[in-house]
Amino acid sequence: MDSQGILDHFKAALADARMTDAPFLAEDLLQTLNHLSQRSDQALVEVVELFEKISDTTDPTALLKGYSR
């Protein structure tokens, strides 16, 4: 999957997150992903791996609640 495909995947996932108690963090994360994709595909891959590791929890908003820049 190329960086655009990864971003499209996250945009779909974050659309639901915007309806949770963390809509601003979801938007901030999406902007960060967009920024990383412009700089380096490898950086985006690392973020995706981190996202997948954290999202394996039972709480679907765990990443957003624990996200900080």
Domain residue limits, the chain: 3-66
40: pLDDT strictly greater than 70: no
Assessment of whether the complete model's pTM goes beyond 0.85: no
The 3-state DSSP class for residue 40 equals coil
Report pLDDT digits (tens) over 16-34: 665 665 556 666 777 777 7
- In a 10 Å sphere around its CB, with 0-12 CB exposed, 13-18 middle and 19+ buried, how is residue 4 labelled? exposed
Task: Give the pLDDT score at 5.
Answer: 73
69: pLDDT strictly greater than 50: no
43: pLDDT strictly greater than 50: yes
